[in-house]
Amino acid sequence: MILAGGPTTVERMPTDDDADDDVTGFGAPLPPDDRLWRHPSELGRHASGDEVAGGRRRRSGRTATLPVALIAGLAGAVLSTGIIAVTGHLSPRVIERQVVERVAVTPMVSSPMVRGDRGVAKVASQMSPAIVRLDVTRDGTTATGSGVVFRDDGLVLTSAHVVEGADDIHVRLDNGRNLAGTLVGADALTDVAVLDVDARDVPVALLGSAAALEVGEPAVAIGSPLGLRGGPSVTTGVISAVDRTVDGPDGSLHGMIQTDAPIAPGSSGGALVDSTGAVVGIITAKATEAGDRFGFATPIDLARRVADELVQRGAASHGWIGVEGVDLPPDQAGAMGVEGGALVRGVLGDGPAKAAGLAQDDVITEVNGEPIESMPDLVVELREHRPGEEVKVGYWRKGKRSEASVIVDDRPPAPPSARPDR
């Protein structure tokens, strides 16, 4: 062979077919179908559906790849929807941003966390970072309250009466930062309000459920009473009652949790925590008739539902059928053979109850099969139903039981100093 630059002699090596002398350290490669990895040069042949069998090329067609493509497409669509749902862009919201909430899964733990002083200390250390102090100024006077951070983008749950009529709200976080608070919305019927502060990645409280609370369970109240320094205050007690109606200066609160854990002024808007360390209620000190013996809290299930509506549209909806009433007296209940009921004292002329045929002196004893033993029972049951929903109302009239289909409406704003309609 002649190469540029001068003659060069090239020796040809003899061919050796003895495989035993060739030691490369690697064996013959496996067939592509038996391997987890394929060289890029092999992808064209196998991705196109060609298979090699017995030295012949066999066309498999697209039937094998079509299901894979469909599954991949569906997975992509589900993933995209999931991302939209997490970031809050699936439906319009007043506040749209990616957030973190902590919600307990029931049952959370197999044994209570609150066992003696050390258990209470553990609950306190877990909850305190999510408890904030509110400094609320109205008419030149500043009062203090409490709040519970329930979203890591700076949304805070508190009591509506704490921020009612506020000219200025400042929120002091657990780390000492003092930030301006903006009122997102408030609902007087449940004494729930939501504040927004310009803070991100803040510690959030673990939200539980009040649905399965039992009288006698341990309870811990955590708030910032009197604006004292040194962080939140902790008091202990038990769940002393559930489904309480509490009369206050601005109306009645229904379905409240009652506790004997001391509630000091300024703790309103703080957290009532169960034995697992999860928030079961938002403390309200709106009650006046019980003095200092008991504290009350709005169940967290209700507070969270109201908070979500306040964030989404700035107001909360409450199921309403347009009746006024009182508890059925025990002697009348005994004569009728029922446990109790809501005695209708008035029916609004343009309300859903009137349209469905209900009248004064009817006794409502059921809504969709759920027993109604008092007027507060009717209020609590109706707020579980959304406006536009049809419910079956069982009632008694002149000793005869009847049933009416009623379309639930959204409760209109009550005039000042007027008794709320149900």
Catalytic residue ranges:
161, 191, 268
What are the residues facing 235 on neighbouring strands? 221
For 19, list phi and psi in degrees, rounded to 5: -65, -25
φ/ψ of residue 404, rounded to 5? -130, 145
Closest by CA to 341, choosing from 369, 313, 373, is 373
Residue the block writes with tokens 């446990």: 339
Residue 258: both structure tokens together: 């009652």
- 124 in Cβ contact with 234 (< 8 Å): yes
C-alpha radius of gyration, the chain, whole number: 34
Tokens of 125: 């250390």
Residues in the chain: 422
List of E strands, 333-372: 342-347, 363-367, 370-371
3-state secondary structure of 251: strand
**CA 76 to CA 237: how far, in whole Å?**
51
Closest CA relative to residue 169, chosen from 201, 199, 223, 133? 133
Token digits of residue 116 = 């003696």
Residues 271 and 127: their CA atoms lie apart, in Å, by 9
Nearest CA to 278 out of 218, 231, 209 is that of 209
Peptide bond into 107 cis (omega under 30): yes
Query: Judging by DSSP bridges, how do beta strands 102-103 and 206-207 pair with one another?
Result: parallel
Tokens at 327, concatenated? 């508890």
CA–CA separation, 408 and 320 (whole Å): 6
DSSP state of 252: E
3-state secondary structure of 74: helix
Closest CA to 99 of 158, 142, 151: 151
**Alpha helices (H) in 128-211, listed in sequence order:** 160-163
SS3 string of 75-94? HHHHHHHHHHHHHCCCCCCC
Whole-number Å distance between alpha carbons of 98 and 89: 9
